[in-house]
Copies of this chain bind each other. A is one copy, B any other.
Amino acid sequence: MLDSALQFARTNKQAHLTRLCDWLRIPSISTLPEHAGDVRRAAQFAADFRKEMGMTSVEIRETAGHPLVFATWNGSDRTSPTLLIYGHFDVQPTDPDHEWTIPPFEPVIEGGNLYARGASDDKGQAMAVLAALESYLKTSGELPVNVKVLLEGEEEITSTNLFPYLRQHAQELRADAILIVDQDMLDPEHPVIMWGVRGNLYLEIEVRGPAHDLHSGTFGGSVDNPINVLVRLLSKLQHGDFRKILVPHFYDKVEELTEEERDLIAQASINDQIGMHLTGAPSLGGEAGYPLAERVSVRPTLEIHGIAGGFSGEGMKTVIPSKATAKVSLRLVPHQDPEEILDSLHLFLKSHCPPTVKMDIRVLGKAHPVKIDYNSPAVRAAEVAYERGFGHKPVYLRGGGSLPIVHEMIKILSKPDHEIPIVMIGFGLPDDRTHSPNEKFSISNFHHGIETVIHYLDQFMTV
């Protein structure tokens, strides 16, 4: 059963790649309302493939937002364990568009890589899972374990409608472990098992001053400029030299690592040289006093993702704008609570906001940080699968990104006496430029990934 599945995967490499390219041609950008139809088309594409391969049931499920696709295979006997697999088919926006060297939704293969928006995050990785299932079903007509696959279309907009769905369908989704395939390896020889993710608090801050734009000659000196005020407020959030976040009580619940945890993270070959290479920055930055591997995974951050106000065209305009806005997020680490951080930040900014302007803070997204028991058998099974699928032992790392669903799945799908193990693996690479122009996915990682999932399903029989 295992061997014939592996054989199928090897002889159908081109077919799997072609199918992925077809999926990537659908511009399923979940954050842009004008692409809602495309997100639905991407759902339908995944549903059609799973029907064709012979899953027991495949359904497109509606939500208040974009739909999701749920499929099951329950042909194994009742004593077989059940694995819930999660992935997503929505993608990030493509701006700045002029920096793409190819149209983002017309996949191009070059130098062993597949270039397209979503190639790595997450259609390429989700397709590796689907191709692994197909490899079993098209050869043996069955899977080694019972499987439920849930693919959503709102991961890039914090899975808002997945949460009520999970609560409403907790019984149907019951499983012995959850496999999430949506992350990077360190490099082609170092796959990663992720034993946690950072949380996130994503805000939009708006400062409004005069009722309309004013000429800075006539009115300069009479009012506070909303950009000047916004810049001053934002600058108060973070220390200029040590990059510490200055929101009161921000670090109160941040735990220091144990020696064992610190050693585990230190084993990963993440060093400044690699950081310089991957980012192209003049020199590295971030919080003082912690090594790079910890700064990007177990330490909180504050990033201004976007700022806008006034005139930014060519040339000069001597305007005092009526408003300015910024998009800001804080990455949170166990056991920081997004709600508590929000309250504290809100009070802090209010206390510094002058009466010359009005300030609004809108919450665009929230995700809890999570820490996973890396000694759970379902997690350790991934180590074997990686070794056989890639020929390399994985490293155990904490993830710097945020997957809001991880915390929600644990909360909703755990049994009262036992926290459900979450197994986080993935086949991306750090230079895949996910969320940026010219996103790519390594084609050899795609094929090794398919084999890794085939091995994981085989290993999962015994957990």
Give the A interface residue count (CB, 8 A).
104
- Asked whether A416 is an interface residue with its Cβ less than 8 Å from the other chain, the reply is no
B227 and A317 within 8 A (CB):
no
Q: A212-B99, A223-B285 are contacts. A314–B32 as well, Cβ < 8 Å?
A: yes
Interface string of A278-317 (1 = CB under 8 A from B): 1111111111000010011101011111111111111111
- Asked whether A327 is an interface residue with its Cβ less than 8 Å from the other chain, the reply is yes
21 intermolecular pairs with C-beta atoms under 8 Å apart:
A32-B315, A99-B212, A211-B281, A213-B436, A214-B436, A215-B401, A216-B301, A216-B303, A216-B331, A218-B400, A221-B299, A224-B243, A224-B286, A225-B285, A227-B304, A235-B236, A240-B352, A282-B357, A284-B356, A285-B354, A319-B435
With a CB–CB cut-off of 8 A, which chain B residues contact A67? Answer: none
Known: A156-B316, A217-B331, A223-B285. 5 other contacts (CB 8 A): A32-B313, A32-B315, A202-B316, A221-B301, A222-B279
Give residues 196-247 of A contacting B (CB, 8 Å): 198, 200, 202, 209-225, 227-228, 231-232, 234-236, 238, 240, 243
Q: Which of B96, B224, B305 contacts A318 (CB 8 A)?
A: B305
Nearest-CB distance from A193 to chain B (Å)?
16
Q: A218-B184, A283-B355 are contacts. A317–B296 as well, Cβ < 8 Å?
A: no
Residue of B nearest to A99 (CB): B212
Complex Cα distance, B232 from A352, in Å, reads 15
Complex Cα distance, B217 from A99, in Å, reads 21
Query: Interface on A for B, CB 8 Å cutoff?
Result: 31-33, 92-93, 95-96, 99, 156-158, 184, 198, 200, 202, 209-225, 227-228, 231-232, 234-236, 238, 240, 243, 275, 278-287, 292, 295-297, 299, 301-321, 324-327, 329, 331, 352, 354-358, 364-365, 399-402, 430, 433-438
Complex Cα distance, B220 from A292, in Å, reads 10
With a CB–CB cut-off of 8 A, which chain B residues contact A313? Answer: 31-32, 93, 95
Of residues A95, A315, A402, A436, which shows the largest number of chain B Cβ atoms within 10 Å of its Cβ? A315
A220 and B281 within 8 A (CB):
no
A93 and B317 within 8 A (CB):
yes
Q: A224-B281, A280-B211, A315-B364 are contacts. A217–B198 as well, Cβ < 8 Å?
A: yes
Of residues A220, A223, A315, A438, which shows the largest number of chain B Cβ atoms within 10 Å of its Cβ? A220
Complex Cα distance, B38 from A132, in Å, reads 63
A436 and B212 within 8 A (CB):
yes
Q: A92-B317, A311-B95, A311-B305 are contacts. A295–B231 as well, Cβ < 8 Å?
A: no
With a CB–CB cut-off of 8 A, which chain B residues contact A311? Answer: 93, 95, 305-306, 327
Q: Which of B299, B307, B357 contacts A231 (CB 8 A)?
A: B307
A307 and B310 within 8 A (CB):
yes
Q: A235-B231, A308-B308, A437-B212 are contacts. A303–B402 as well, Cβ < 8 Å?
A: no
Of residues A218, A243, A329, which shows the largest number of chain B Cβ atoms within 10 Å of its Cβ? A218
